Amino acid sequence: VSRIASIDGRIGPLEEAVVPVLDRGFLYGDGIFDTLRVYGGRPFASEEHLARLARSAAALRITLPVTSSELLREVKEAIDAAREPEAYVRVMITRGAAREASLAPPSGLRATRVILVEPVRPPSRETYARGLKAITLAWGRGNDASLGSAAKLLSYVTSVVALEEARAHAADEAIFVGPDDRVREATASNVFVLDAAGNLLTPSEGPGVLGGITRGHVLELACALGLSCAVESVPKAAFATAREVFLTSSVREIMSVVRIDGVAIGAGVPGDTARSLHRALRLRAGARGPAPWE
Ligand SMILES: Cc1ncc(COP(=O)(O)O)c(C=O)c1O
């Protein structure tokens, strides 16, 4: 076993895991999730991820069916059951399964909880070595509802379509830009820019910008490495003169972007700042082995 699903506390093989069609997560995308990574059998920043999960649930007025500490215990049980030291964990909470499909949630529903554990599938060594090509898109998550920025809502259809759009432009990733031409985030990661003066910038969390856990760790590490770093609004025009651009997320850790809308960033190869921060992040997470681009 290395692919596990725990549904409402019952652990079984992922291939056999099912939730009812009347579950509101399936019917309406009425739920939230969080993703974390396991290094050497130990989840990294699990408390931060479960705290964000609880905030996401609160934003949707979903009552968690068990306490956060019980949920953490179930997450660890699922990780142990998978016996997969380098794993990806996805914790999902839906508002629950009703007796009939009706948009207004009936009272007395009990939220469904699903924990998936699988071997992590990070991008290839070549991808890390080369960096990504991205396009910018003037739309994105959280444009229509303030909910969408605070919470990791189940539906990522916006990001899915954005990735299709990127692919149609022979790119790997899409970066969302707000109507004010301010950089928001990528399809499932936060954006950092090392500007021409050597300042490391990342947009503040808020509408269309998720408060990424990796982002928080990278900011701390950047300060510790003596970089000048700031959480502030970043205009799209900053890409034109940036020395480096990189993305952060639990699964990909740090991934350089070397070309945006067809224009090279800096020298057009992954930069030294991204590399140093990536090494520091992996050290903090307890990752073993060579850096992913080596
Ligand atoms: C939209 C979005 N922004 C940012 C992130 C990065 O968050 P984290 O570093 O907590 O994984 C994610 C992660 O999946 C995401 O989906």
pLDDT digits (tens, 9 = 90+) for 61-117: 999 999 999 999 999 999 999 999 999 999 999 999 989 889 999 999 999 999 999
CB of 210 closer than 6 A to ligand 1?
Answer: yes
pLDDT at 148: 59
CB of 188 closer than 6 A to ligand 1?
Answer: yes
Beta pairing partners, 97: 23
- Using CB atoms within 10 Å of the CB of residue 19, give its burial: 0 to 12 exposed, 13 to 18 middle, 19+ buried: middle
pLDDT at 143: 47
CA nearest neighbour of 47 among 64, 30, 26, 69: 69
Phi-psi region of 41 (alpha: psi -120 to 50; beta: other; left: phi over 0): left
Kindly report the average pLDDT of the chain as a whole number.
Answer: 95
Considering only CA atoms, give the Rg of the chain: 19
User: For the chain, how far is it from start to end, CA to CA, in angstroms?
Assistant: 29
pLDDT digits (tens, 9 = 90+) for 211-258: 999 999 999 999 999 999 999 999 999 999 999 999 999 999 999 999
The model carries a pTM of 0.96
pLDDT at 139: 82
Residue nearest ligand 1's atom 14 by CA: 188
Mutate to test the pocket of ligand 1, among 90, 190, 192 (most ligand atoms within 8 A of CB): 190
pLDDT digits (tens, 9 = 90+) for 118-161: 999 999 999 999 999 999 999 876 544 566 567 899 999 999 99
CB of 202 closer than 6 A to ligand 1?
Answer: no
pLDDT at 173: 98
pLDDT at 146: 60
**What whole-number distance in Å separates Cα of residue 193 and Cα of residue 200?**
6
CB of 212 closer than 6 A to ligand 1?
Answer: yes
Mutate to test the pocket of ligand 1, among 139, 204, 249 (most ligand atoms within 8 A of CB): 249
Q: State the distance from the centre of ligand 1 to the C-alpha of 226, rounded, in angstroms.
A: 25
CB 255 within 8 A of CB 131: yes
Mutate to test the pocket of ligand 1, among 161, 205, 250 (most ligand atoms within 8 A of CB): 250
**What whole-number distance in Å separates Cα of residue 170 and Cα of residue 175?**
14
